A and B are shown apart, each in its own frame.
Chain A
Amino acid sequence: MKHIKRIACLLLSLLLLSFFGCGKETINRTLQIPEDGRVARAVFKGIQESGDIGIFNGNSNDITYQWLFMGSLLEEPRDENLLVTFSSAKTQEVKARLSAEHVQEFSFANGEEILGGPSLSVYFTYPWNADSAEVYQYDAQTDSLTLVATAALENVPNAVVTLIPQTFKGLFYLVGRTTQEQSTTEAAAGSEPGASATALGQSNKATDAYVNETKKPTVAEPATKDKYLTDEVPSGKPKPVEPEDVTVEKEKKHTATLSIRCDTILQNMDQFNQDKLPVLPKDGVIMPTRTVVFYEGESVFDVLQRETRASKIHMEFVFTPMYNSAYIEGIHNLYEFDCGSLSGWMYKVNGWFPNYGCSRYVLKNGDVIEWVYTCDLGRDVGGGYAVGELP
């Protein structure tokens, strides 16, 4: 009886331990590779189940390296040894044989395959005078160097080489190549450059894209500097675009809808400037919703200016450098403060009141533009409050 109790206790504690042990490791995504290189199955299981990524950092002889495991690619998690050892036993020889300036020897822990198709990034402490890198495998029996894969090289400014290892046995060499050089295979051991492509081709979309990504020409995007007092634009809403950064393309036409209304005045006639009665539309509609055509890159202001001009509707604005935008003072002779000290014109697009000037809102096809007159700093038209302007 005692024995059974003891065994039961032991099992229970083991269970609890593993439970907690498992739980703990899935929280951290970035882990340090232990000295013996062993990473338990539970860790990979955690990555697989969470669909997350696993980053394992290691260090050997002043060279740091990093494994990246994608949870979606792990099929049968198991214990792995992620230790990579950097050495230099045959480096000089290989440099001569391949006539390359940069060569780094390395080997994997067990020579056993590491499942899950992870990528390995190697961080050097100096730049490589090369454009790309290749991975060679050394076969001691035949004394041959075989090209097994290409790798990505970036000098940021120190060299970082990233590869997706396919074979793990024996000694390997990272070799830096400049584009003029051709990759050389030593013996006629039947490995063509094409093989490396297929090896990569077997890898999944994610890592494929990564390898290709570094070769794409980089396109510079203008950094938007926002010094015009714009508060954080809520996520998902379009950011302001400075009018001077935009090119209007007259060949590309789009449509949107535009309306201009001042019906809030009708609910606040006691505050309304009686002098302006003649210009107040009885139904509060200055321009009913209409479809307008605009050119790619144009702003809300551009459309308002064009349409009011075309329909001979009065519109007065002043360009405010402070906000890098036009500020609409009056439409249809109805100006700010004509309906109390909290009144003025506001605009919304697709139901949202942008918190920046109308010259900075670049339109997209199908946008719904509404100009509305508020008598309560925006609260009566569902727009929170507008930023007050000092004289």
Chain B
Amino acid sequence: MKKKFLSVLLVLSLVLSFAGPAFAQDAPAGYVTVSVDINTLGNGFLYEPVQVPFYEGESFAQITDRLLDGKYENSGSVDDGTFYMETVILPRAITVNIPQFILDETGPLDQTGKAEGETLGQFDYYGMSGWMITVNNTYIDRSAGAVYAQNGDVCRWQFTVYGYGADLGSSFMSDPMYERADKDALTAKVAQINSAPNKAELLAKSGVQSAYDAAYTVLGNLRAEQSAVDSVLTALNTALQAQPPASSVDISIHLSTTLDYMLGTVPAPAFGTGGGEWTVLSLARAGHAVPEGYFEDYYGRIEDVVTENNGILPSSSSKKTEYSRLIMALSSLGRDSTDVGGYDLTAWLSSMPQVQKQGINGPVFALIALDTNGYDIPDVLATAAMTGYSTATAADQVTRQRLIDYILDREIKKGTDDAGGFALSGTTPDPDMTAMVLQALAPYRSQPAVAGVITRAVTALSAIQRTDGGYASWGSVNAESIAQVIVALTALGVDPATDSRFVKEGNNPVTALLRFYVEGGGFAHILGSGAGSGVNGMATDQSAYALVAYDRFVKGKNSLYNMTDAFTSTEEPPEQAASIILEGPGQITGKAGTAFNVLVKTKAFPEGNFKLMDGLLNIPDAFSVENVAASDRLNGGALSWNYNAADKKLRFVYTNSSLENIGISGTSFPAELLTVTLKLKSDMDEASAATVSVGGLTLKEKSDAAAFVFDVAQAALSVAFSTVGVSVRELFTGDGVDLIPADKRAVAVTFSGIPAGSGLDYKGAELIFSPEMTAKQGANTYVLFTVPTEAAEELQKAENYHLQGAAASVVAFGDTDGNSVINAQDALDMISAWLRKTSVSTDLQILTYNVTSDARINTFDALAILEHYVSGAELAILSR
């Protein structure tokens, strides 16, 4: 029995040991690159580089045998170290054209070709000829049967004519004739393409075929330099890795928030580079809703400036671009620049010496301005009286062709092979200047000379583009340069997001520009966290109209600067301006002593050197003023206030003693200015109501200068009284897309007259207490989850809420892991919930996660946590 048992074991193991390798035989142990070339005969590859599999323990002799399919003659055996390749049976006919440098050594040789099927081997053409093999760029000194393959090896069979490899650059048996480059990597890459199942597709990719052909050329050149080999490899790799053209980039959110931001920070545009023409142009060309009178008031200010200065715009004596800019803005509004307050602004662009005084910028912008509405150029002499060009002669007359010629003349390295691009000075193409020239020349590209300049300039822009898709100018990578390039490309009908010349490693100018976008709207001048980062006016203006240009391009509208459409269409919708609103409970408990907060907020805050803010509130008799506090967003001053019960006015002043500027921090609006704490003086019944309103709110620069007056028309708060005050505010309603069900609606309910944190329910649903919201409102605030159809009147009825014995659950917004710290773990929790890797099920969780207070729990919430953590930004759900 024992014997039987043992014998069974033995048999089993024997079988298995055979089966083992048998299984292993099916799967290759790896892949190697193999090629066979006859470059010393000047005829390229006999077997082009391919990737072939090899099996465990195979040698290069065995691999080659498989590749050549036996079409060769050897001495020794394929299976061991005696293998020696004597001749190869030609798979195709060859022609022989031995390179001269080899013939210099050998003397003249018979260069007759051979037919397919004939052999090519040692001693052919010359006595020292034969086949040599490299593995990983080393000429092996043993039989190919004794060198075993490893994954990734590159094996090249090469025919040598002279010197036992000296003509191949090998030092194997004699001095090499030259230093040979390492072509293994390039060969492997070509092999990869050749062996790819989708070889045709790969070669069809933009740029791949040409790089592939270049690779073959280099591989066929015995004496190719390493640098040439490397650069071809790089080109091939780049072409292969190039992403397929992306579809257009979605910029809608960035554009609309930025335009809103611009409206907020430039409530009253006036003549000037900043807070002026560019802002107006961006808003107008985008068709963005602006407050009523926004553009009209601007035009009024322009008229004033023009007429007050008799048509001579400020700072224009040396810069006629002041006129160009103004004309461009007026055209965007559909206003005729030939009659502004009776003055023809285009006349100032009629003198060449005047226009070109400041260099190339003059003619560039003159051309753009005139072409916004196809303006004819006035006669320089006829308008001399108005323009003040008293010394002008007929020879000074500006014509479009003269402007074009001036610009063409200033092409960098004009007339040479390296011509292309433009700059203010020097010979390095500057992206901004080159782009602006393209913007001016775009309408003239049918002119042959212009077409050439445009082509070269576009090539130059493509060449200086960075791999992140952006541009650097004056030493720094910045948004403005990218913006100008986008405007230029769209003007030429080139899609900046998909044109292969402007897609670098998957990045294009549009995606590059969006990197400068600052959350909430606006663009930074440079990236990073040092000087110059953060929203910048000039960067925002330029980025805004660049996005508008791109948007118009994608939607097939007129280009940015072709404003003829503005003169025919009209658009009107009004929206918000710098108006003041009051926020507070709509209803409070009618008991004497009830206190509540009224928040004074503004929808916009102008930019300026304001030193003082003052105003007054009308406080009804029913209330006494307990306290007035300035919000954290106001900075630069201190608040003082006084309530005069006699005339029921609360007056306040926010300023500082040293007349420093006051202002507001942050970019989210409406922004809080003040918190006024009022107290009910005596019991009030339900029939009464009291209204708090803002009588006026102004900002002052100097005691005599014009102040900025806020619009207080809507700044009123009506407070009703009830036994228990309830005021309801919408927070968010889910849309079913990202984790918040479509029927989940969250409202914030503020109560007066209830002990803090006590348990409450509404028609069976438990309310969640928010200490953060309570602190902000000055009264207990809870969050209730209900259905979208629940009527507001029902929610406002105090009777529907019932006190519970147990304390309410408490929400800490953003603290998803409940450790009282909001950090990366919480941000990650939001992302993992959105990725459905973790679950968010309870109402409390939804409330904790949805810090953006929108309809979904997604990456925006995580990003909000990031902003909150890094920059102290208030979570949106608290500022609702």
- A residues adjacent to B (C-beta < 8 A): 225-227, 229-233, 244-245, 247, 273, 275, 318, 320-322, 329-330, 335-338, 340-342, 376-377, 385, 387-391
Chain B residues contacting A388 (CB-CB under 8 Å) are: 424, 474
Q: Which of A229, A244, A341, A342 contacts B660 (CB 8 A)?
A: A244
Rounded to whole angstroms, the CA-CA distance of A244 and B608 in the bound complex is 11
- Could you tell me the distance in whole angstroms from the C-beta of B845 to the nearest C-beta in chain A? 27
Q: Which of A226, A275, A341, A391 contacts B324 (CB 8 A)?
A: A391
Residue of B nearest to A225 (CB): B534
- A391-B321 contact given A229-B532, A318-B314, A322-B274, CB 8 Å threshold: yes
Question: Would you list which residues of chain B between 518 and 544 have a CB under 8 Å from chain A?
Answer: 525, 530-538
Q: Which of A227, A273, A335, A337 contacts B359 (CB 8 A)?
A: A337
Chain A residues contacting B474 (CB-CB under 8 Å) are: 385, 387-388
- A341-B357 contact given A231-B475, A322-B537, A391-B321, CB 8 Å threshold: yes
Instruction: Determine whether B319 belongs to the interface, using a CB cutoff of 8 Å to chain A.
Output: yes
Instruction: Determine whether B212 belongs to the interface, using a CB cutoff of 8 Å to chain A.
Output: no
Interface bits B497-537 vs A (CB < 8 Å: 1, else 0): 00000000000000000000000000001000011111111
B530 and A320 contacting across the interface, CB-CB below 8 Å? no
Rounded to whole angstroms, the CA-CA distance of A377 and B474 in the bound complex is 12
B357 and A391 contacting across the interface, CB-CB below 8 Å? no
- A391-B359 contact given A322-B274, A335-B317, CB 8 Å threshold: no
A391 and B322 contacting across the interface, CB-CB below 8 Å? yes
A337 and B319 contacting across the interface, CB-CB below 8 Å? yes
Rounded to whole angstroms, the CA-CA distance of A390 and B661 in the bound complex is 27
Q: Which of A321, A336, A338 contacts B274 (CB 8 A)?
A: A321
Chain B residues contacting A376 (CB-CB under 8 Å) are: 425
**Can you list 10 A-B pairs, Cβ within 8 angstroms, ordered by A?**
A225-B534, A227-B534, A229-B532, A230-B531, A275-B391, A330-B318, A337-B318, A376-B425, A387-B474, A388-B474
Rounded to whole angstroms, the CA-CA distance of A341 and B320 in the bound complex is 12
- Could you tell me the distance in whole angstroms from the C-beta of A385 to the nearest C-beta in chain B? 8
- A341-B537 contact given A244-B661, A335-B318, A391-B321, CB 8 Å threshold: no
Instruction: Determine whether B273 belongs to the interface, using a CB cutoff of 8 Å to chain A.
Output: yes
Q: Which of B274, B359, B391, B534 contacts A342 (CB 8 A)?
A: B359
Rounded to whole angstroms, the CA-CA distance of A330 and B318 in the bound complex is 10
Instruction: Determine whether B365 belongs to the interface, using a CB cutoff of 8 Å to chain A.
Output: yes
Chain B residues contacting A233 (CB-CB under 8 Å) are: 531
- Could you tell me the distance in whole angstroms from the C-beta of A291 to the nearest C-beta in chain B? 28
15 other A-B residue contacts (CB within 8 Å) besides A225-B534, A244-B660, A377-B425: A226-B530, A227-B534, A229-B525, A229-B538, A232-B530, A244-B636, A320-B274, A330-B317, A336-B358, A337-B357, A340-B359, A341-B356, A390-B273, A390-B432, A391-B319
Q: Which of B318, B432, B607, B661 contacts A329 (CB 8 A)?
A: B318
Rounded to whole angstroms, the CA-CA distance of A387 and B321 in the bound complex is 17
Residue of B nearest to A386 (CB): B474
Chain B residues contacting A244 (CB-CB under 8 Å) are: 609, 636, 660-661
B318 and A391 contacting across the interface, CB-CB below 8 Å? no
Residue of A nearest to B358 (CB): A337
A391 and B365 contacting across the interface, CB-CB below 8 Å? yes
Residue of B nearest to A327 (CB): B315
B425 and A342 contacting across the interface, CB-CB below 8 Å? yes
Q: Which secondary structure dominates where chain A touches chain B?
A: loop
With a 10 A CB-CB cut-off, give which of A226, A322, A336 has the most chain B CB atoms. A322
Rounded to whole angstroms, the CA-CA distance of A227 and B810 in the bound complex is 40
- A226-B273 contact given A336-B318, A337-B318, A377-B424, CB 8 Å threshold: no
Rounded to whole angstroms, the CA-CA distance of A40 and B317 in the bound complex is 77
- Could you tell me the distance in whole angstroms from the C-beta of A232 to the nearest C-beta in chain B? 6
Q: Which of B358, B658, B661 contacts A247 (CB 8 A)?
A: B658
Instruction: Determine whether B816 belongs to the interface, using a CB cutoff of 8 Å to chain A.
Output: no
Rounded to whole angstroms, the CA-CA distance of A160 and B163 in the bound complex is 79
With a 10 A CB-CB cut-off, give which of A231, A232, A335, A391 has the most chain B CB atoms. A391
The 8 closest A-B pairs by CB, nearest first: A341-B359, A391-B321, A244-B661, A226-B531, A337-B318, A335-B318, A337-B358, A322-B274
- Could you tell me the distance in whole angstroms from the C-beta of B657 to the nearest C-beta in chain A? 9
Residue of B nearest to A340 (CB): B359
Rounded to whole angstroms, the CA-CA distance of A321 and B321 in the bound complex is 19
Interface bits B150-170 vs A (CB < 8 Å: 1, else 0): 000000000000000000000
B273 and A273 contacting across the interface, CB-CB below 8 Å? no
- A-B pair count, CB < 8 Å, reads 93
- B residues adjacent to A (C-beta < 8 A): 273-275, 314-315, 317-319, 321-322, 324-325, 356-362, 365, 391, 424-425, 432, 474-476, 480, 525, 530-538, 607, 609, 636, 658, 660-661
B609 and A391 contacting across the interface, CB-CB below 8 Å? no
- Could you tell me the distance in whole angstroms from the C-beta of B570 to the nearest C-beta in chain A? 28
- Could you tell me the distance in whole angstroms from the C-beta of B655 to the nearest C-beta in chain A? 13
- A227-B536 contact given A322-B273, A337-B359, A391-B325, CB 8 Å threshold: yes
Rounded to whole angstroms, the CA-CA distance of A385 and B532 in the bound complex is 19
A391 and B361 contacting across the interface, CB-CB below 8 Å? yes
B532 and A226 contacting across the interface, CB-CB below 8 Å? yes
- Could you tell me the distance in whole angstroms from the C-beta of A123 to the nearest C-beta in chain B? 17
- Could you tell me the distance in whole angstroms from the C-beta of B312 to the nearest C-beta in chain A? 13
Chain B residues contacting A247 (CB-CB under 8 Å) are: 658, 660
Rounded to whole angstroms, the CA-CA distance of A335 and B354 in the bound complex is 13
Chain B residues contacting A340 (CB-CB under 8 Å) are: 359
Rounded to whole angstroms, the CA-CA distance of A271 and B855 in the bound complex is 64
A329 and B359 contacting across the interface, CB-CB below 8 Å? no
B531 and A342 contacting across the interface, CB-CB below 8 Å? no
Chain B residues contacting A377 (CB-CB under 8 Å) are: 424-425
With a 10 A CB-CB cut-off, give which of A225, A233, A376 has the most chain B CB atoms. A225
B538 and A322 contacting across the interface, CB-CB below 8 Å? yes
Chain B residues contacting A389 (CB-CB under 8 Å) are: 273
Chain A residues contacting B538 (CB-CB under 8 Å) are: 229, 322, 390
B607 and A321 contacting across the interface, CB-CB below 8 Å? yes
Rounded to whole angstroms, the CA-CA distance of A225 and B524 in the bound complex is 13
Residue of B nearest to A273 (CB): B357
With a 10 A CB-CB cut-off, give which of B360, B391, B609 has the most chain A CB atoms. B609
Rounded to whole angstroms, the CA-CA distance of A385 and B473 in the bound complex is 12
Chain A residues contacting B325 (CB-CB under 8 Å) are: 391
A245 and B660 contacting across the interface, CB-CB below 8 Å? yes
A227 and B424 contacting across the interface, CB-CB below 8 Å? no
Residue of B nearest to A233 (CB): B531
- Could you tell me the distance in whole angstroms from the C-beta of B282 to the nearest C-beta in chain A? 14
Rounded to whole angstroms, the CA-CA distance of A342 and B426 in the bound complex is 11
Residue of A nearest to B665 (CB): A225
- Could you tell me the distance in whole angstroms from the C-beta of B659 to the nearest C-beta in chain A? 9
Rounded to whole angstroms, the CA-CA distance of A329 and B475 in the bound complex is 25
Chain B residues contacting A273 (CB-CB under 8 Å) are: 357
Rounded to whole angstroms, the CA-CA distance of A254 and B559 in the bound complex is 57
With a 10 A CB-CB cut-off, give which of B318, B356, B534 has the most chain A CB atoms. B318
Rounded to whole angstroms, the CA-CA distance of A377 and B531 in the bound complex is 23
Chain A residues contacting B359 (CB-CB under 8 Å) are: 337, 340-342
Chain B residues contacting A321 (CB-CB under 8 Å) are: 274-275, 537, 607
B532 and A227 contacting across the interface, CB-CB below 8 Å? yes
Rounded to whole angstroms, the CA-CA distance of A273 and B317 in the bound complex is 12
Q: Which of A232, A275, A318, A341 contacts B315 (CB 8 A)?
A: A318
A391 and B273 contacting across the interface, CB-CB below 8 Å? yes
Rounded to whole angstroms, the CA-CA distance of A390 and B542 in the bound complex is 11
- Could you tell me the distance in whole angstroms from the C-beta of B871 to the nearest C-beta in chain A? 12
Rounded to whole angstroms, the CA-CA distance of A229 and B317 in the bound complex is 26
- Could you tell me the distance in whole angstroms from the C-beta of A301 to the nearest C-beta in chain B? 14
Q: Which of A231, A245, A275 contacts B532 (CB 8 A)?
A: A231
Chain B residues contacting A318 (CB-CB under 8 Å) are: 314-315
Rounded to whole angstroms, the CA-CA distance of A226 and B525 in the bound complex is 11
Rounded to whole angstroms, the CA-CA distance of A376 and B424 in the bound complex is 11
- Could you tell me the distance in whole angstroms from the C-beta of B368 to the nearest C-beta in chain A? 10
Q: Which of A232, A275, A342 contacts B424 (CB 8 A)?
A: A342
Chain B residues contacting A385 (CB-CB under 8 Å) are: 425, 474
Chain A residues contacting B432 (CB-CB under 8 Å) are: 390
A229 and B319 contacting across the interface, CB-CB below 8 Å? no
Chain A residues contacting B535 (CB-CB under 8 Å) are: 227
Residue of A nearest to B610 (CB): A244
